[in-house]
Amino acid sequence: MPTKKNPLKGRGLSAILGEAIDIDTMQGNANVTAAISLLPIDKIIVNPFQPRKDFNQEALEELAQSIRRQGVITPVTVRKMPDGTYQLIAGERRFRASQLAGLTEIPGYVRIATDSQMMEMALVENIQRENLNAMEVAFSYNALIEECQLTHEQLSERLGKSRATITNYLRLLNLPAETQLALSTDQISMAHARALLSVEEAETHLNLLHEVISQQLSVHQLEQRIKALHAETAPRGTRKPDPLPLSHRQGCDTLRQYLQSEVDVRRSRRGKGTITIQFNTDSDFARILSLIQNKK
């Protein structure tokens, strides 16, 4: 069966904003944008839901130089606030660079949007441009899930990302703060971070992190060290769990699909066992619990 394509994938902000229309038609309609208008820069305030927190000053200066020569080619997107100011939805780099360039006005689309719509649009615009670091993506995914009350599957559909991708980013929130900082500053890669997730003992985890940074270990080298550590700490004579019968494997797959979470089933030869369900956040736990309760 052909896979249904997501209408947002690869289309960025335009997939949510739609086509620009005359500003007079905006009244009473929360799903349209206005024609491009010149907006006073001193009336624009930054987006509190902006996923990107750090802006490279040198890159902003270069963009400001370009704006001085050619002007702002791509309009920013804003929403009008009750006090007459405009709040940025997308285009904060252009806005900051225009301030540096000394502009008093900037072209922009005026959008009517709720807080949750603003957060979603800011995230989609940035993710589709692929200019956020891994931790910014993880925090933004989690904010969308909690603030907009989305499941992993719904977020996957809206962003045009696989559910596995969503889950992998959210797992980064379980990393210690020092590892998160190393990832956000490009001292380690996301693949390094995912490997480190399997090391729960804090001191060992941080020692491995420091080794990766100081010795520039590859992901494969890190995985080999982690494998060796696990072998050293495994109890002597530990036997591998018995293979699951087909019915149990199928049941495990059914649970994964229904709960939209990783599920592990262990069973002894006598038929006794455990079911382990993973969750990433408190809201994810509440979602799983609600699904189980509603199934009764």
What residues act catalytically? Answer: 92
- Among 183, 182, 179, smallest CA distance to 134 is for 183
Backbone angles phi, psi at 264, to 5 degrees: -125, 130
How many C-beta neighbours within 10 Å does residue 206 have?
15
Report the amino acid identity of residue 49: F
Q: How far is CA 107 from CA 18, 21, 36, 38, in A?
A: 18, 15, 6, 4
How does DSSP classify residue 284?
A: H
Cα separation of 42 and 254, whole Å? 55
Cα separation of 118 and 262, whole Å? 31
